[in-house]
Structure 1
């Protein structure tokens, strides 16, 4: 649920990640779909990649549970209009009413959800960029479209993705509006290929949320399980480490945070346990580890599928929490007892 700061929202249509190097942003339109969206979420969870979901309002009303699953797994929401109408010739007032209704449908499914982006159906923008910006949503375009809305076969979609990918591209894909199983299969194939080639998956420009660290972490299955091995077993002691922290979303009485933990040393760190202090929060859900809390002390233990951080490897953690008052940046990060920078 990454949200750009209000002051940063403009009527400019974003088509890139805004980052240098081999970065891409995956965006999916026309969902949620009862079959293909959960299948896609499973793929993204397995590969530890975050994406943007551009939601069709009527579909949100039909499948609110899937919208909640999207949010629980740490993805970003985008308004894609109520009924996928062509807004190109609509008045500003008509567009505003549609976008407000779509946001209301999304927030009925997920109260307090941030919706940082708007994407116009068919790319027919008209007056919608300014209207969206006035409502606090960055207009989201794309730099790469592989026409997966006309399913040509999984192999062909993989070919198009590999042939057309460019650094910084926002990639337009679909998880709804028809049978998108070929898209899901193609995404499942290209993510590990691209990671092996050094590509990093992040979000479009206008978001403060960190992207995927780009490591191939192994197979966590549909949802990360328990902590696996007990922390404190012999294993490898802590070593040099780095933690990057970001507030992905803040909605008054709640928040979502993301952490990227990196082994910056020369030896593996096994059965890792991350601890840090964060006051005024009560964590309700955490992923990619086993989360426990004792007052302001937060502890995350390694899942069985990612019990060892090798040198240079990162793992992405996230949580949703209720909060009281303002929440400061976490302090005192330690990994297996070693202080992280």
Structure 2
């Protein structure tokens, strides 16, 4: 649990872990990843009504799966700051977090106050925590670190040396108390500011009120024009604040055109009988690619869910149609897709990607 120093911690309940699979991701045109620095990030780094949800002290066997269900239903992506001991207790929930497209954050091994620790001891703790996470999800990407209690000491420099951006917050509604669902909703409504990183908890105690408050606040904020994104830094590789092309703008080329394109395929995580993949489509031509459809063959996998497009599969043939909010790839722009899949044995990258009838390099 992240609080100010002196506030008590409540240990999580040691119950049987729950595990479900599925994932949805609300994002659009990707931006370039920011370099890792020792600066403590507390905003999205985006203009306008953007907000980033972050959750500390999980995974928890009850509240984390419940929260994941809420985020999936509302199509919102968040950052989960993981407590290493809890990761070792519930590795299957960490796999669920990753499979559903969320971002990971190192929150130390035992939630100790690291403020007065030596750099050497901090490094050992952070490395042990990341190792525990990667035992659950091999090759997991962990772009952020958050100090327990917000007691930073030398942790920002050590985290940056280990490739993790220090992650702070602008808004703490003290859900660790807990004060009641209605009160949490009130604090969120009254306290949100453009670009805020919001600190909440899915572990360290009974967080059912937080889950209920998140379920209420997401549709309310969406109705008020807020967009959910990631904090600034290396985790923020997608920018859901970029608006789709105005449908009233006349297209340069007829709808459905192809054009020069490049596709990069990456296996983000592979856990034996399952995997998470990333596909980046780049428009290398001089005209927009409108109402795009990407087709490729991937043998030995069954897509469970995909993001940033409408996914379908027939045998080994996979088709992704452009989502309504991102129908056009402008010249020089890219769109990042992602998927989770079950699989048997090893898989090979697709031989060819076809975008609107044109083979991409």
Q: Does 1:136 align with 2:158?
A: no
Alignment check: 8 A CA contact 1:17 1:169 kept: yes
Which sections of structure 1, spanning at least 5 residues, go unmatched? 216-237, 303-307
- Cα deviation for residue 108 of structure 1 reads 0.5
Alignment check: 8 A CA contact 1:34 1:66 kept: yes
Change (3 A) 1:161 1:128: same
Query: Which residue does the alignment assign to 1:26?
Result: 53
Summarize deviations over 1:295-337 as a string: whole Å, max 9, x none.
7x631479xxxxx958989xx9631477768x99x95434xx8
Alignment check: 8 A CA contact 1:286 1:318 kept: no
Of the three residues 274, 285, 292, the one matched with 2:313 is 292
Q: Distance in 2 between matches of 1:290 and 1:57?
A: 34
Q: Does 1:123 align with 2:141?
A: no
Q: Distance in 2 between matches of 1:52 and 1:247?
A: 23
Summarize deviations over 1:104-132 as a string: whole Å, max 9, x none.
11000111101110000000000000100
Query: Which residue does the alignment assign to 1:276?
Result: 295
Which range moves more in the overlay, 17-26 or 6-15?
Answer: 6-15
Of the three residues 318, 336, 340, the one matched with 2:338 is 318
Q: Does 1:85 align with 2:112?
A: yes
Partner SS for 2:220: helix
> Which residues of 2 match residues 223-302 of structure 1 at below 5 A?
250=268, 256-257=277-278, 274-277=293-296, 285-288=303-306, 290-292=311-313, 298-300=318-320
Q: Distance in 1 between matches of 2:296 and 2:51?
A: 33
- How many aligned positions are there? 295
Q: Does 1:209 align with 2:209?
A: no
User: TM-score, with normalisation over the residues of structure 2?
Assistant: 0.69
Query: Which residue does the alignment assign to 2:11?
Result: none
Q: Distance in 2 between matches of 1:241 and 1:16?
A: 38
- Cα deviation for residue 192 of structure 1 reads 0.7
Summarize deviations over 1:148-167 as a string: whole Å, max 9, x none.
00111111101110101111
Which range moves more in the overlay, 249-258 or 56-65?
Answer: 249-258
Summarize deviations over 1:235-262 as a string: whole Å, max 9, x none.
xxx966999x9989846997632689xx
Alignment check: 8 A CA contact 1:276 1:332 kept: yes
Query: Which residue does the alignment assign to 1:56?
Result: 83
Partner SS for 1:21: coil
Which sections of structure 2, spanning at least 5 residues, go unmatched? 1-24, 26-30, 244-253, 282-287, 329-335
Change (3 A) 1:282 1:40: same
Of the three residues 104, 125, 128, the one matched with 1:101 is 128
Q: Does 1:333 align with 2:345?
A: no
Change (3 A) 1:181 1:251: closer
Q: Distance in 2 between matches of 1:202 and 1:311?
A: 16
- Cα deviation for residue 21 of structure 1 reads 1.1
Q: Distance in 2 between matches of 1:34 and 1:22?
A: 33
Change (3 A) 1:44 1:103: same
User: TM-score, with normalisation over the residues of structure 1?
Assistant: 0.72
Of the three residues 15, 20, 26, the one matched with 2:42 is 15
- Cα deviation for residue 287 of structure 1 reads 1.4
Alignment check: 8 A CA contact 1:77 1:114 kept: yes
Q: Distance in 2 between matches of 1:59 and 1:211?
A: 30
- Cα deviation for residue 197 of structure 1 reads 1.2
Q: Does 1:37 align with 2:64?
A: yes
